[in-house]
Amino acid sequence: MGFGHSGGRYSERTRTKQVADKVAEQLQSLLDAKKAAKKKPLELTHGEIKQAIANGADILSSLHNDLLKSDTSTGYVITKVTTAPKSKKIETIRDAAGVVFTKDGKTLLACSKPLGKEYVIPKKVRAIFNFAFRNNPEVETIFLPAKIEKIGIGAFLDCKNLSGIVVDKENPYFCSEDGILYNKDKTCLIQFPANKPCTEFQVPLSVKEIAPYAFTSCHNLTSLSLHDDIQKIGAYALGGCGFTSIHIPAGMTTIEPHTFSCSKLTSVVIPSNIKTIRESAFIYSHNLSEVTFSEGLVRIEENAFVDCKIDEIVLPKSAKQAFKRAFDRHVNIISK
């Protein structure tokens, strides 16, 4: 299904296969017509591809786009085209609590209505889909069985009263400590409960990665200690937290989208190990007024610091790819 954590590691779906299938589907009728006419070699001209696009193509590979921009292109030889497979409808079942599963009961897909204060995931479940428990304001504790193998990204997002996640000790893929969800060897912190009653937290030294959405909307947290061996913090991981400053680990090279969208954040130092600040990385940090950039930063993408309180920033010489739209229009940008 292309989702989530497998043994605590996560991956994001690419669109490569989707693009290839879409292009194949849209050109198939033209190929069939040429086969019927026994025209060899099978060739689609520049005009025919352009017509295929006009007839409804909305996703194209870079190859097709380059072809259409070329005035000298006379045709395009197709050697192999396969039609896109029809998507299969997922058959589902729903339990008495309104939780939706795949027909075999092995994947928990979503909750169609709010749960109670505690929810025990059935022993049969092997996987939890992306955002499966989203917007369950009442649930406080969730129990994961021994055979859970995959947990989708943001599976527990917006469970604003969630204070603990408990994993069966026999589970070989995941574990929990003080209600916090990790992979089994605790190298990836997957979920910090949004309503865990603590104001300070020190990420364990074993953790090398913080998963997307791991700390999202943890309003009780005013201080988060990140050690320098952390190599990656996923998108949206710290959005909506209540701390006013943050230490960016020395092991990181990229700040992912929406990672530090924190309304109470007032200052941040971007260390020299950071090469790229992705789009919207600090967006909506309404009180962020002081940002110090270090030499070594190369790229700042669009909207990275939009809707912040910054009046002036000084860019290092190394920042060769700093988009003007990374900042609000009133910000005075000084280059060294």
Taking residue 319's Cβ as centre, other Cβ atoms within 10 Å add up to 23
Mean pLDDT confidence for 280-290: 94
Mean pLDDT confidence for 208-237: 94
Same fold, 88-178 and 198-336: yes
Can you say whether residue 82 is alpha, beta or left, with left for phi > 0 and alpha for psi between -120 and 50 degrees?
Answer: beta
Q: What is the pLDDT of residue 274?
A: 97
SS3 181: strand
Q: What is the pLDDT of residue 56?
A: 43
Higher pLDDT, 195 or 33: 195
Q: What is the pLDDT of residue 4?
A: 62
Average pLDDT value over all residues in the chain: 82
* pTM reported for the whole predicted model: 0.74
Mean pLDDT confidence for 137-145: 94
Q: Are 5 and 68 in contact (CB under 8 A)?
A: no
Q: Which of 43-47, 218-222, 301-305 has the lowest mean pLDDT?
A: 43-47
SS3 24: helix
Q: What is the pLDDT of residue 15?
A: 44
Mean pLDDT confidence for 194-209: 95
Strands 312-315 and 99-102, sheet pairing:
unpaired
Whether pLDDT at 59 is above 50: no
Q: What is the pLDDT of residue 135?
A: 73
Taking residue 30's Cβ as centre, other Cβ atoms within 10 Å add up to 20
Q: What is the pLDDT of residue 149?
A: 96
Could you tell me which CATH number the domain at 88-178 has? Answer: 3.80.10.10
Taking residue 72's Cβ as centre, other Cβ atoms within 10 Å add up to 5
198-336: in CATH 3.20.20.100: no
Task: List the domain boundaries for the chain.
Answer: 16-77, 88-178, 198-336
As a whole-number percent, the residues of the chain with pLDDT over 70 amount to: 74
Higher pLDDT, 116 or 30: 116
SS3 193: coil
Higher pLDDT, 47 or 216: 216
Angle between helices 46-54 and 16-36 (to 10 degrees): 120
Higher pLDDT, 268 or 47: 268
Mean pLDDT confidence for 168-192: 97
Give the closest residue to 91 by CA, choosing from 105, 74, 71: 105
Q: What is the pLDDT of residue 6?
A: 61
